[in-house]
Amino acid sequence: MRIIVGMSGASGACLGVRFLRECQRMAIETHLVVSKWAERTLELETEVSMQDLCGLATTFHDGDDLGAPIASGSFRHDGMVVIPCSMKTAGAIANGYSATLLERAADVTIKEGRRLILVARETPLSAIHLENLLKLARIGVTIMPPVPAFYNQPENMNDIVGHFVGRVLDRLGVDNDLVKRWQGLD
């Protein structure tokens, strides 16, 4: 399996880090592209360096390199996840404004009819944010805000992040042991 992983400058860099870790553990091929502001949030929110992050991916692509393989529809893959996804990046994707490699890869994923998942993070959401996300949802993009579940009784942030990342993998059709699944009431 081959996944494109985009990280943009919304809060929640730890989500992208954990997603890459789990993909590495499951031997899923990942192609990583990181926006400039994702580099900053990674630095501000985690102990993970850019070097460590790149080491979690199979291939790292420079975010300014619009000539990278993932910029082309001829690059075959099984889905793209933007985790986390800022409202700026969601707005760019919703309007086909592909100024960066991350935005171009998402644009191409849509035009080729491949699966795209946006872990869109902002709160509260303005009408502009909601309209952009609705526009994307209507054409089949999965909008998956990093909203925690509580029915699984998480004990710490690791549980919350793990469960959420497992649900993203579910959406990609990847069998995983990260989701504590609801077993019913009895």
Ligand X SMILES: Cc1cc2nc3c(=O)[nH]c(=O)nc-3n(C[C@H](O)[C@H](O)[C@H](O)COP(=O)(O)O)c2cc1C
Long-range contacts from 112-116, C-beta under 8 angstroms, 24+ separation: 112/73, 114/77, 114/78, 114/79, 114/80, 115/78, 115/79, 115/80, 115/142, 115/171, 115/172, 116/79, 116/80, 116/81, 116/82, 116/140, 116/141, 116/142
Q: Which is nearer to ligand X, 72 or 126 (CB)?
A: 126
* Position with the least CB separation from ligand X: 9
CB of residue 163 to ligand X, shortest distance in Å: 20
Q: Which is nearer to ligand X, 37 or 75 (CB)?
A: 37
CB of residue 145 to ligand X, shortest distance in Å: 10
Q: Which is nearer to ligand X, 8 or 109 (CB)?
A: 8
CB of residue 14 to ligand X, shortest distance in Å: 12
Which H/E stretch holds residue 17? helix 13-25
Q: Which three-class secondary structure state does DSSP give residue 72?
A: coil
CB of residue 131 to ligand X, shortest distance in Å: 15
Tell me which residues touch ligand X (CB under 6 A).
8-11, 35, 37-38, 40-41, 44, 86-89, 121-122
Which H/E stretch holds residue 40? helix 36-45
Q: Which three-class secondary structure state does DSSP give residue 68?
A: coil
Q: Which is nearer to ligand X, 28 or 165 (CB)?
A: 165
